[in-house]
Amino acid sequence: MVKFLLFCILLVLCWPLALLALVLYPFVWLVLLPFRMVGIAVGGVLELVKAIILLPARVLRVV
């Protein structure tokens, strides 16, 4: 909702810039998509490493 209100304010103040932002937004989203995918993969690998490191403590806690 906040993004929409900011877009409306930009549309009132400077409509050519608002229309340019509206047209360029999908291209920016496509360019940033690989970085998001890398972030998800790195987060998964870090969670796996954390689970492997904490596994002995979990096993000892049960015993």
Indicate whether 53 pLDDT > 80.
Answer: yes
From CA 28, how far away is CA 30, in angstroms rounded? 5
Q: What is the pLDDT of residues 1-50, one digit of tens each?
A: 998 999 999 999 999 999 999 999 999 999 999 999 999 999 999 999 99
Picking from 22, 41, 23, the residue whose alpha carbon sits closest to that of residue 33 is 41
The model's pTM is 0.61
Domain layout of the chain by residue ranges: 2-62
